Amino acid sequence: MLGHYVQTGLRNLRRSPGAAVLNMLTLAIGLVAMVTAYAYTAFLARADTQFPSADRIHLLTMSYTSKDNPFPNVRSSANISVPEQTAAYLREDFPGIEKIARVLSLQFGTKTMIASAEQAERLTAVGVDPEFLEIFPLRFVAGDAATALRSPGSVVLTQEYARRLFGEKNPLGQHVILQNAVDAAVTGVLARLPDPSHMGHETPSARLKFDALLSPDVREAILATTTMLPQSSKAQAENWFFSSATTYIVLPEHGLTARALGSQLDAFVKRHVPPDRLQAVTEYSFGVVALRGLLTERGVYGTGLSFGDLLLALATLVLAVACVNYANLATARASARAREIGVRKAIGATPRQVLLQSLVEAALLTAGALVIGVAAFLLGGPVMRALLNIDLAPTLFASWRAWPFLLGVVVAVTLLAGAYPALVLSRVRPVSAIATANVTLGSKLFSLVLVGTQFAIASLLLLVVTFVTLQNRELERTGLGVAEDPLLLIENPAVTKVDAATLRAELARVPGVTGVTEVASVPWEMTLVSTVNSSPDPTSPQHHVIQRSVGLDFFGVFDIDRLAGRLFDSTDLPPPGVLIPPVEPGFERKVVIDRAFAAELGYATPEAAVGNAVYLFLSGLGSSRPPPKEPTTWRIVGVVEDRAFSYWGSGDARAAVYHLDPRAQNTVVRISRGNVSGALAQVDSLWRQLAPNVALSRRFLDDIFNTAYSQFVKTNQLFGLLALMAFAISVAGLCGMAALVSARRRSEIGLRKTLGASTAQVLKLLLTSFSKPIVVANLLAWPLGLVGARLYLKQFLNPIPITPLPFVASLVVTVAIAWLAVGSQTWRAARLKPADVLRHE
């Protein structure tokens, strides 16, 4: 029986090849989206499966909230940084843990300098406990993993950096200088880690990035070379608010479970964190997260979903549009098959047989569409690599689970898309179908609902694309400002042993350099938020502000306009020999604020803010000393125009405060656009003179901006591609709807024209009938679009306002697209001659 249904289905499809191809192609578009989303989630699900104990490896997480700072240090399992000493206490308290190892960070946001006898580079280095290579048996191309990090003064390099530093020489046993001060020997070379993995620098999906692994003693020695961090991790002993270790836990196959361990961590906190430290926080807790779930963290774009979940949800919407489209087109085509079905039922076919025949035809079309969709997915690999930064093509069939998934998709699409037209055909009455060729099948209202559903989803995606695009343009506008001269950032931490004042003076003499300043943190890579009070009273209103530490001439180099007061000058620098401005009670620090903060403080004009102050109450969480009882005063000496140096907002912190900071490690050079190449050559030559054994780390700020901005561009492109798919399917469905409606209303049109209606009036009537479900669909999509826009925009430092314009534009665009889609068929129907219609009637 099934073979007969298949043969009959193929014969019916050959009779109407145009409709069959259109149905197959529109289904294929939806299936491409679904296959891509599945391949992405399957890719992440394979993360770290190359490690034998991957299912038993967990990471410790920490969360706390300071009483005087409402911003949580950690609020999700995605933050995997905990205090260094935690691992030792875990070993003591939980002997059932099979293995524990730490990855110890160095300097946040900066790379480590490393030099061989021939070459200097900068890379990302981390300290690791020797047990790390037992938990993660990484593949070595040189050296022995069992002993590589057990000897003092050891460093393990990736293959890429071993080649950069030593060329074709054997790197084993070679000595390198780290941070221009610490000597270490190369004891191993790592092969490229397979992707996906949560670690490594060569894998695009990595969260824990590194180019070199250091033995703990090397890391300790490196920390002792910088004044920005404590002299060593020992100085941070028992500081439970300084998080610098990623702690891995291997649980036994039988015994202690992750749930059991997690339930005992509150008691662990009470045993080891001093009570006086806990009094400074409203919440302090540890947690456990599975290694396999690290790459599928939830909470992207302000939702409770992971990026994979979001991609699957959007792909499901596109596929739903394709299913609705098939139902509409198949129903429209069913009218032409009414007589055939009537004859079949007259000679004995049952409604059940007609229904099954229709579903088999839908299954054949879905299977063909899936083949086309998979082929398009494989051929579109470069597009997906550009959007998602990973190669998904090999992932789809990497596991046997793909086959049940694809089979399930075929079954689900067959039922969702084919159920309604199959039901319509099964209910054809033989007498009516044989008596007339133009039988009206299906519910007119339900057809309108199907069209409306398609355009509601398409309109929702269009709204998402519109808000993402507008926000991206705002990021571009507020990113680098309007300055035409490029800005060059040079990393110059203290360990380079290049005096900042000397570097500034020498750079100022380079032809083409028009300005030099410093910044403590790299724009668009790090944001520091502080909580200040409007008066010395600790109960006074609090304000959350972005704190930016800068050097002299900062505002001139960045073209930030002064609105009131003055800017920083040399008199604002600390006394000679004092590198870090004091924060003792009573100390007054000069600050410049932006227009937004002046307004937030309630001043009517920028001039009114000058001379006033805000007050910082230090918590003391990051120090072994108790917090001071008196606040530090921030005296406002100037107000400048707003300028964004970050994308992301932090709570409700939107305004900025600028400090003059002599410790700022990043030099920013403004170069005349007419002499960029010459100035760069001079800068490189100058650095080689000042620091011959240290690799120069320089980047243009617009490159830093574009690197950070690229993620938003890719998000926009991804949403735009999905919206385009949905609209393409919807337009095809509307064409089917137009054919159905035109066929149904031939008699009405002929009668109206007989009674004197003009072609223009009939055209207006038809376009209005097509527009109504689309207008209703837009109105239904608007609330969801508003919710999505708010979730997306609230995470930005400078979100665009939500105005009616995008919603109105979405309505206009969708109606215009609909009119273009049905225009030819509507015009043809409106020009019908009454005599031709009535003759057939």
Instruction: Specify the pLDDT at position 592.
Output: 97
The pTM for the full model equals: 0.77
Whether residue 557 is contained in a domain is answered as yes
In the predicted model, what is the mean pLDDT of residues 504-527?
90
The mean pLDDT of the chain is 82
For residue 155, is pLDDT > 50?
Answer: yes
Whether residue 206 is contained in a domain is answered as yes
- Select from 193, 228, 263 the last residue of a domain: 228
For residue 384, is pLDDT > 50?
Answer: yes
At 662, the pLDDT band (50, 70, 90 cuts) reads confident
In the beta sheet, which residues pair with residue 284?
64
For residue 252, is pLDDT > 90?
Answer: yes
For residue 417, is pLDDT > 60?
Answer: yes
Cβ(59)–Cβ(211) under 8 Å?
Answer: no
Please give the Cα distance from 197 to 295 (Å, whole number): 8
Whether residue 517 is contained in a domain is answered as yes
Instruction: Specify the pLDDT at position 78.
Output: 44
| Percent of the chain surpassing pLDDT 90 | 32
Instruction: Specify the pLDDT at position 379.
Output: 86
Least confident span in 78-87, 284-293, 608-617: 78-87
Rounded (5°) CA angle 586-666-655? 55
In the predicted model, what is the mean pLDDT of residues 625-639?
79
Question: pLDDT tens digits, residue range 745-779?
Answer: 666 666 666 666 777 777 777 777 778 888 888 89
For residue 375, is pLDDT > 80?
Answer: yes
Please give the Cα distance from 601 to 611 (Å, whole number): 13
For residue 43, is pLDDT > 80?
Answer: yes
Instruction: Specify the pLDDT at position 295.
Output: 75
In the predicted model, what is the mean pLDDT of residues 315-326?
86
- Select from 173, 198, 228 the last residue of a domain: 228
Tally of domains in the chain: 2
Cβ(746)–Cβ(826) under 8 Å?
Answer: no
Least confident span in 276-280, 637-641, 684-688: 276-280
Most confident of 44-53, 159-168, 307-316, 381-390: 159-168
At 390, the pLDDT band (50, 70, 90 cuts) reads confident
At 154, the pLDDT band (50, 70, 90 cuts) reads very high
Cα 133 to Cα 81, 123, 188, 411, 661: the distances in Å are 19, 20, 12, 46, 41
- Residue of higher predicted confidence among 707 and 669: 669
Please give the Cα distance from 311 to 36 (Å, whole number): 9
For residue 190, is pLDDT > 80?
Answer: yes
Question: pLDDT tens digits, residue range 66-96?
Answer: 665 544 443 443 478 899 999 999 999 999 9
Least confident span in 386-400, 565-579, 649-663, 822-836: 822-836
For residue 725, is pLDDT > 60?
Answer: yes
Instruction: Specify the pLDDT at position 814.
Output: 84
In the predicted model, what is the mean pLDDT of residues 656-666?
89
At 480, the pLDDT band (50, 70, 90 cuts) reads low
Q: Looking up tokens 């949580």, which residue turns up?
A: 72
Least confident span in 47-51, 118-122, 480-484, 597-601: 480-484
Instruction: Specify the pLDDT at position 231.
Output: 42
Residue numbers of the domain that contains 179: 108-228
Instruction: Specify the pLDDT at position 198.
Output: 87
Instruction: Specify the pLDDT at position 399.
Output: 76
Least confident span in 167-171, 669-673, 761-765: 761-765
Q: Looking up tokens 């009470």, which residue turns up?
A: 270
Please give the Cα distance from 20 to 333 (Å, whole number): 10
Least confident span in 53-67, 528-542, 689-703, 730-744: 730-744
The DSSP-derived string for 92-118 is HH-TT--EEEEEE--STT-PEEEE-SS
- Residue of higher predicted confidence among 497 and 133: 133
* Residues contacting residue 61 through CB under 8 Å, at least 6 positions apart: 74, 76, 77, 79, 80, 82, 286, 287, 288, 289
At 327, the pLDDT band (50, 70, 90 cuts) reads confident
Sign of CA dihedral 219, 221, 223, 225: negative
Identify the three-state secondary structure at position 56.
Answer: helix
Question: pLDDT tens digits, residue range 125-144?
Answer: 999 999 999 999 999 999 99
In the beta sheet, which residues pair with residue 532?
543
Whether residue 115 is contained in a domain is answered as yes
Instruction: Specify the pLDDT at position 73.
Output: 44
Whether residue 376 is contained in a domain is answered as no
Cβ(614)–Cβ(543) under 8 Å?
Answer: yes
Instruction: Specify the pLDDT at position 584.
Output: 52
**Tokens linked to 379:** 């051929």
Longest pairwise C-alpha distance within the chain? 106
Instruction: Specify the pLDDT at position 70.
Output: 45
| Percent of the chain surpassing pLDDT 70 | 81
Whether residue 168 is contained in a domain is answered as yes
- Residue of higher predicted confidence among 317 and 67: 317
Whether residue 261 is contained in a domain is answered as no
Instruction: Specify the pLDDT at position 74.
Output: 39
Instruction: Specify the pLDDT at position 610.
Output: 96
In the predicted model, what is the mean pLDDT of residues 296-320?
74
- Select from 659, 680, 704 the last residue of a domain: 704
Cβ(358)–Cβ(364) under 8 Å?
Answer: no
Please give the Cα distance from 463 to 460 (Å, whole number): 5
Least confident span in 444-453, 478-487, 734-743: 734-743
CB contact burial 609-648 (16+ within 10 A = b; e otherwise)? bbeebbbbbbbbbeeeeeebeebbbbebbbbbebbbbbbe
Most confident of 106-115, 194-203, 557-566, 580-589: 557-566
Instruction: Specify the pLDDT at position 4.
Output: 65
Whether residue 306 is contained in a domain is answered as no
Residues counted in the chain: 841
- Residue of higher predicted confidence among 582 and 731: 731
- Residue of higher predicted confidence among 539 and 110: 539
Cβ(216)–Cβ(210) under 8 Å?
Answer: no
Note if the bond before 196 is cis, omega within 30 degrees: yes
